[in-house]
Amino acid sequence: MQHIGTLFVSKHRPLASVVDSGTFQLQLFAVDRIGAHQVEPWRLLWTGPEAQVFWETHSDALLAPGTPLRITAHKGRAHQCGRAGAEFVAHVITCEIAPQRTFDKREALSA
């Protein structure tokens, strides 16, 4: 099953490393904003040269919590993380930084 959508970088810093096979691996920690006061934590695992290029290109931007990411992922599974609750873990197929949402003039007038 594939998962496609926008997630937001969480407060946890991404982890970049090389796994035992010598392959670059990037772990991104993100949240899915389900509702006004409800978020679902995600751990995104991305390996290979595309992940390394993405990391080298965007590592400064990724350190900012709230950065929107447009994700295509697969192999998603929910895992219980002790008292912290459940976390959704998925393997990235594609990832790009999405544009920050800006308010429309109509939204500003209705506020």
Cα–Cα distance between 43 and 91 in angstroms, integer? 9
Q: Which of residues 80 and 43 earns the better pLDDT score?
A: 43
- pLDDT (average), residues 1-7: 91
Q: What does the angle CA 10 – CA 39 – CA 48 come to, to the nearest 5 degrees?
A: 45
Cα–Cα distance between 6 and 19 in angstroms, integer? 27
In angstroms, the Cα distances linking 8 to 19, 43, 51, 60, 100 are 25, 11, 17, 15, 10
**Number of DSSP helices (H) and strands (E) in the chain, helices first:** 2, 6
CB-based contact 82:73 (threshold 8 Å):
no
Residues pairing with 12 in the sheet = none
Task: Provide the pLDDT for residue 102.
Answer: 59
Say whether pLDDT at 89 is over 80.
yes
Task: Provide the pLDDT for residue 18.
Answer: 95
CB atoms inside a 10 Å sphere around CB 14: 18
Task: Provide the pLDDT for residue 110.
Answer: 52
Task: Provide the pLDDT for residue 111.
Answer: 52
Per-residue pLDDT tens digits for 16-65: 999 999 999 999 999 998 888 888 999 999 999 999 999 999 887 767 89
Architecture per CATH, 2-110: Beta Barrel (2.40)
Task: Provide the pLDDT for residue 107.
Answer: 53
In angstroms, the Cα distances linking 105 to 97, 100, 110 are 24, 16, 9
